[in-house]
Amino acid sequence: MRTRRSVRRPAPALAALLLAAALALTGCSAGDDASGGSNSAADRGADGKGVSGEAAPGGSSGAKATAPPKLAASHIIRTASLTVQVKDVPKALEQVRAGTENAGGYVGDETTTRDAEGHERTRVVLRVPVEKYDEVLAGLEGTGKLLDRSAKAEDVTDQVVDVESRITTQRASVARIRELMDRATKLSDVVTLEGELSTRQADLESLLARQKSLKDRTSLATITLSLSETPVKKAAKDDDPGFVDALAGGWSAFVTMLRWLAVAFGAVLPFAAVAALIVLLWLRVVRPRLPRRPAPTATAPGPLPTARPAPEATQPRTPGERD
């Protein structure tokens, strides 16, 4: 019995010793992992910078550097207008075309005129990629003498995002209508769904066209260039008006007055024609058919009363006067 007791006693002590050794080993491995993680972080930040290449705050090598947030892509419509005076318009125009095509753009509308003295003036519309906008604009300014320049930038990011969202919703709506049409069994339901599908597809096509237009206007900048061999505006040699100026002004006023009189006559003419027609109908048709009133009979004048002689005034007779 004593031998049994002596054999069983070391078992709990041995178990406790093994448990303590396991705990010690676990703590050591955890410490090694922590130190390894710290060392790896230190290795990543040994040069004082984080993952993103920026310095860690406070110079701590273990702090994790957060990457900067990505900015949303902006959609901007860029337009510009230039007026440049050159010595030779055709030569300058060829140079402008070459520069635009080399930048990946193209020449749109083009208008060329010639004045009385034989000087050419050309107006062209250029479409160039947005990333080449500043470069092309600087090259155009160096073509000759810059007389006028205006530029405009319009941010349409909200419109682009709104159109894209509505397109997504409209496409889902069209897909639902198609599913309902596949499940419909009644002819009336099919007809109703076809009408609804046509309406939603038309709305979707309109949104897609608007999206395409916005994409074209934001991806390609528009530059309107005017090339002239003479200044667009010449200073007046004499500010005081002369006889010819007064005659031209008077003639212009006279022509304007005649034009307004013609306009007024044209406006009154329909009413005058209707009034003349009414008067003609009255005189030729209505008036002859009206009953005429009998003319009043004239009474013969009676005999005029005879005038009585005025009584002679009695005067006293003088002696010797006869009756």
- 217 phi and psi angles, rounded to 5 deg: -75, -25
What pLDDT, on the 0 to 100 scale, is given for residue 287?
76
Which backbone phi and psi does 123 adopt, to 5 degrees?
-125, 120
Tens-place pLDDT, residues 124-177:
999 999 999 999 999 998 888 999 999 999 999 999 999 999 999 999 999 999
Q: What is the mean pLDDT of residues 37-46?
A: 39
Please report, for residues 45, 55, 231, 307, the alpha-carbon distance to residue 235 in angstroms, rounded to integers and kept in the order given: 70, 62, 10, 102
Task: Round to whole Å and give the CA distance between 42 and 22.
Answer: 30
R_g (Cα) of the chain, nearest Å: 54
How much is the pLDDT for 55?
Answer: 40
Q: How far is CA 248 from the centre of its chain?
A: 40
- Band of pLDDT at residue 267, cut at 50, 70 and 90: confident
Residue identified by tokens 């009585």 is: 308
CA distance 50 to 56: 6
Which candidate, 222, 224, 215, 226, places its Cα nearest to that of 79? 222
Domain coordinates of the chain in residue numbers? 2-44, 76-156, 158-215
pLDDT value at residue 284? 83
- Mean pLDDT within 281-289: 81
Highest mean pLDDT among 4-18, 264-278, 292-306 belongs to 264-278
Q: At 308, is the pLDDT very low, low, confident or very high (cuts 50, 70, 90)?
A: low
Amino acid in the structure at residue 320: G
Which of 32, 28, 124, 127 lies closest to 77 in space, CA to CA? 127
Burial annotation 20-39 (CB, 10 A radius, 16+ → b, else e): eeeeeeeeeeeeeeeeeeee
d(CA 146, CA 137): 12
The confidence band for 241, taking pLDDT boundaries of 50, 70 and 90, is: low
**HEC profile of 254-291:** HHHHHHHHHHHHHHHHHHHHHHHHHHHHHHHHHHHHCC
Element (H or E) spanning 145, and its range? strand 145-155
| Residue 79, pLDDT above cutoff 60 | yes
- What are the tens digits of pLDDT across the range 93-117? 999 999 999 999 999 888 888 887 7
Helix (H) or strand (E) holding 39: helix 10-44
Greatest distance between any 2 Cα atoms in the chain: 231
238 compared with 247, residue with greater pLDDT: 247
| Segment 215-225 mean pLDDT | 93
CA atoms of 67 and 205, how far apart (whole Å): 40
The CATH class of 76-156 is alpha beta
User: d(Cα 60, Cα 62) in Å, to the nearest integer?
Assistant: 6
